[in-house]
Each structure stands twice: as structure tokens, then as C-alpha cells.
Chain A
Amino acid sequence: MIDILNAIVLFSNFVLIPGMAYGAQLALGALGVTLIYAVLRFSNFAHGDLMAFGTAATILFTWWLQSMGVNLGVLPTALLALPVGIAAAVAMSLVMDKAVYSFYRAKRSASVVFVISSVGVMFVLNGLTRLLIGPDDQRFADGERFVIRARDFKDMTGLDEGLALRTTQVITVVVAILVVIALFRFLNHSRMGKAMRAYSDNEDLALLSGIDPKKVVFWTWVIAAGLATVAGVLYGLDKSFKPFTYFQLLLPIFAAAIVGGIGNPVGAIAGGFVIAFSEVTVTYAYKKFLGYIVPGWEPDGLMQLLSTDYKFAVSFVILVVVLLVRPTGLFRGKVV
């Protein structure tokens, strides 16, 4: 019995909790991608670098706050700097929209033209972020590191396995829940939110109803950039910030949006968790876990399906399979 408990704690510590946090981060990123796809009708490849840019701005402001002696006590100072980072990302998105996308929108260009120009925007943001903060790894989490420490947990419960719950993991999940509630309230109950859904559903009819496309585009960028920055800062707090890592996040984020059904916000959230848990469960070494479940039968290998180096392959395989088998995704989004 105690072995089963140990196994559960072990699994929670290395799979369940990290998976939840990672899933929430991917869900927020995928929500931004899905929103742009639904309203502006293109896959925004610059989303990962928009996350990086917003996060870099947040980090710089965090450092400035820290140098002024401002902090949030047990919570990371970055939460205080987050609105500034969001503002920077929103401003950058609006500049990019004005400079690049509005031109193609006026020409009513094909969706693929937008996608390719978003790749261009991606490279620009990529460079800007590196100019701003450099290409290196940055850690910016401060405040209390743990809610529950592994050793305290062991002392408390008397189990062999410890359960660590980091502050950033709790913050990630709490912030993600709050943001998602706010987003859904906005989309389902506010006048502008409904207008965005109407514009996404049927552009011509939305215009006939007097919905102003400029306002819809503006608010879509505000929300998408906000979501990107929140996702980026939460990921950076939980792990660390490195521009290249954020670029790489594009793959699991797109996989999440497409698995859930691109253009569908509920799908983006579900997709985020599907991708996160697939990655974590496939790359976890089950040797010790199996040792608790089946005592006396210790496998020789690590019982790891894939090395963590291959974690991107997981997203990629899921992406390909979904596109082959069910292109509309779990929640019936649009066909890409």
C-alpha cells in the first residue's frame, strides 16, 4: 500500500505537476494562435517570438524594479512587471500589423501570403529580442521558490518519495485559470467579444451588420499579444528564458491549437494539455515508478520511451497524425 502511495507521489512530482504547468503555458500560447487564426485567418508563425519579445520586455522591467528595491515578497517581481511587458508586446504587434499585415489585408491576399509574411515578422522579432536582452539564458524568478519542498513533504508524510510544488507552478495554473475565465467572459458576453466571434464566423455578414473590422483587428492583436506575453512569462518563470527556446515552443503550441481544432478556444486549451502530457509521459523514465508498482521486478533499462531530446518529435508526430486522421481537431475547428 505504501508502495502505491510512493508511486503516486513520484508520478505526481515528475509527471502530473510539471505536465499541468507546461500544459497551462501551452494552452495560453495556443489560445493566442487560435484567436489570430479565427479572426485574421492566418497561422501566425511569429507567435513564439512575440512571446519572447513580451517576456524580454517583462524581464527588463523586472530587473529595473528589483534595482529600485521593489518586490512582491513571496511572489515573483515579474508579475508586477507583466503589464509593462504586455503593453510592449501589444505595441509591437500593432506596429507589425500596421507595417505588414494591413497592407495584405487591404489587398485581400491569400492566407498563405499572410503566413509567409508572418515568418518575416518572426525573424524581425527574433532579432529585436536578441538585441534587447541578448541570446543567453536568463533567470528572473525571485520570491519564495517552493510552496511545498520535497524534504518537508517526506517529513510530513513519512513517505520515501518527496513531492515538490514550486511557486511558479502554482502561479502558472492560477494565472492561466483566471486568464481563461476572463477571455471566455469577454468572448461570450461583451459586445466586442461577440463582434469578434461574428467577424470570425462570417466576415461579410459582420460588415453588413456594421461591425468595424479595424476595431476587431485591434482587439484581436491586443488579446493575442497579451496571451503570448502571459504564456511567455509563466514559461520563463517556471523554467528559464532563452529566445531560441521560445522560437522552438512554436511547434508544441501549433500542435496544441491544431489538435484541439484551430479557431476553437476550448480546443486550444484541451490541445495544450494533450500535448504537454504526451511530451511529459513519453519522455519520463518509469524505472523507479514500476519498481514501486511491481516490487521485486526491477527492469534493467530506464523504461523511458524517448529521450527528452526527442520531446519535439512528440508534438510533431501528434500534429501529423491529427492532420491525417482528423484535420478539424478534437473540437471541430476549421480545416487548415
Chain B
Amino acid sequence: MSFLRAEAMTGGYGAADILHDCEISVEQGEIAVIVGPNGAGKSTAMKAVFGMLPLRAGTVTLDGNDITNLSPQERVAMGMGFVPQTSNVFTTMSVQENLEMGAYLRRDDFMPTMEQVFDLFPILREKRKQPAGELSGGQRQQVAVGRALMTEPKLLMLDEPTAGVSPIVMDELFDRIIEVARTGIAILMVEQNARQALNIADKGYVLVQGANAWTDTGEALLANPEVRRTFLGG
């Protein structure tokens, strides 16, 4: 039984379904990446896992608990952390306040966690007093990931964390994400930069039109000639 297991997810925002019998699972300490062409329903699949999409069929279990009917907020309390693709920081608040808001539900002392986040992203320690809105794109993504880590999640979900950042910053962010995974957190990530993302992935899901097209290790998917031809561009 996988740590996160989403099975047979079918649903959409309106009358038409976007996801068709979609399946995703992640183990602790593992990085799972959802890739696919534009409009394949990658972000939608992740939103479904997080409870932001009404499902007509399918179940989501986390650590053996059925969470299919829980709201996103309740899932956060269950140990899921979510980093949205856009507007993922409080722009008018300082970096430190952003992290504090991430820990809002925690009643214990969260300073050690904040120190861990600062160790992971040293630039944030330097800029802790600065409003998050004044940071660069890559630094903002770090704040966003740091905010999600403040709840000490067991599963971290990232919706295109490298959208709009330079290749150098992207490599840097991926390195950090690997570090996070090494601490035993399960990571589920949607990525536009498929090749680089599959490089660091333990498991890759290729979605096409809302359904699983290929599922394999990242390495195997990169080597799969059909995957390469159809959407990695040769």
C-alpha cells in the first residue's frame, strides 16, 4: 500500500470530466513527477489529490486513511502541504511572517522548523525581514516551498515549482527538492520542464487527456522511445 494512493479519479469542474480513471501514488522519501503535454490535466490531477476538484469517482488515501471527502484545509491538517503555481506567497508580508503563516495551525514551538527551512534555503535567512513581494522569482518559490514545509507535511505537492525561473535557478530548486525528499517526505510534483523533472524523479506519470498514458521510473520514461517521440521532442 503506497503512502499516497489516488485511484480511479474521475471528475472535472463542470459537466465534462477532465480526469478519466487517473491513478497516482507516491511513497515516502520518493519524488513522483506528473508530466504531459499542455492541457493534459496535470495540475487538475494534483488538485484532485488535494481536494480542490470535485470527484465523481475514485478514492484518495493518505497513509492508509481515506481522505476522499476531506476539504483541502482538513488535508493540510492531515499532513499534506501544497504549493500553488501562482500567488503562492503573501506578497505584503515579510519572509519570516510568510513562514509563520505556514505554521498557523501548529500550537507547538515551530522555531526549529523555521531554522530547518533557513538551512535549506540560506537566502531566506538573509531576507527574513523583507516583504516576499520584493524577492526574485526563484526566491519567491523558495518562500512558497518553505511556507508549505512549516506544517511539517508528510506529503509535499508542488504545482510547477520552476515555472518562470531561469535554468540555473531551476537546477538549484530541484537540488533542494531532492534534499527535502531525503528527509523522508513524499513529493508529488507537476512539471512543465519534463526532461529535467524526470531526471530527478523516482517515478514518473505521463498524462495524456486526463488519463495515465505511461507510468514508470523517471529513467525508464526518459529512455522510452515512444515517450521521447510523442512529447519529449526526440
Task: Using CB atoms and an 8 Å cutoff, list the residues of chain A in contact with chain B.
Answer: 191, 194-195, 197-198, 201-202, 204-211
A252 to B92, CA, bound (A): 27
B87, B91, B92, B147: the one contacting A209 at CB < 8 Å is B147
Q: A205-B84, A208-B84, A210-B73 are in contact. Are A194 and B97 (CB under 8 A)?
A: yes
Q: A197-B93, A198-B101, A209-B101 are in contact. Are A204 and B82 (CB under 8 A)?
A: no
**Is B90 interfacial (CB-CB < 8 Å)?**
yes
**Pairwise interchain contact B91-A210, C-beta atoms closer than 8 A:** no
Which residues does chain A contribute within 8 Å of B91, judged by CB atoms?
201-202
Least Cβ–Cβ distance between A14 and chain B, in angstroms: 40
**Is B76 interfacial (CB-CB < 8 Å)?**
yes
Contact with A along B94-138 (1 / 0, CB 8 A): 000100111011000000000000000000000000000000000
A280 to B91, CA, bound (A): 38
Q: A194-B97, A205-B84 are in contact. Are A210 and B90 (CB under 8 A)?
A: no
A195, A197, A201, A202: the one contacting B104 at CB < 8 Å is A195
Least Cβ–Cβ distance between B171 and chain A, in angstroms: 26
Q: A210-B73, A210-B76 are in contact. Are A204 and B101 (CB under 8 A)?
A: no
Q: A194-B93, A201-B93, A202-B91 are in contact. Are A207 and B73 (CB under 8 A)?
A: yes
**Pairwise interchain contact B92-A197, C-beta atoms closer than 8 A:** yes
Chain A interface mostly = helix
A250 to B180, CA, bound (A): 53
Which residues does chain A contribute within 8 Å of B102, judged by CB atoms?
209
Contact with A along B58-93 (1 / 0, CB 8 A): 000000000000001100110000101001111111
Supply 26 A–B pairs (Cβ within 8 Å), ascending by A.
A191-B104, A194-B100, A197-B92, A198-B90, A198-B93, A201-B93, A202-B87, A202-B89, A202-B91, A204-B84, A204-B87, A205-B84, A205-B90, A205-B101, A205-B147, A206-B90, A206-B101, A207-B72, A208-B72, A208-B76, A209-B76, A209-B101, A209-B102, A210-B151, A211-B101, A211-B104
Which residues does chain B contribute within 8 Å of A207, judged by CB atoms?
72-73
Task: Name which residue of chain B comes closest to A200, CB basis.
Answer: B92
A267 to B151, CA, bound (A): 34
Q: A194-B93, A195-B104, A201-B92 are in contact. Are A210 and B84 (CB under 8 A)?
A: no
Least Cβ–Cβ distance between B117 and chain A, in angstroms: 14
A32 to B128, CA, bound (A): 30
Least Cβ–Cβ distance between A214 and chain B, in angstroms: 12
A322 to B125, CA, bound (A): 39
Q: A210-B73, A210-B76, A210-B105 are in contact. Are A205 and B89 (CB under 8 A)?
A: yes
Q: A194-B97, A198-B101 are in contact. Are A208 and B90 (CB under 8 A)?
A: no
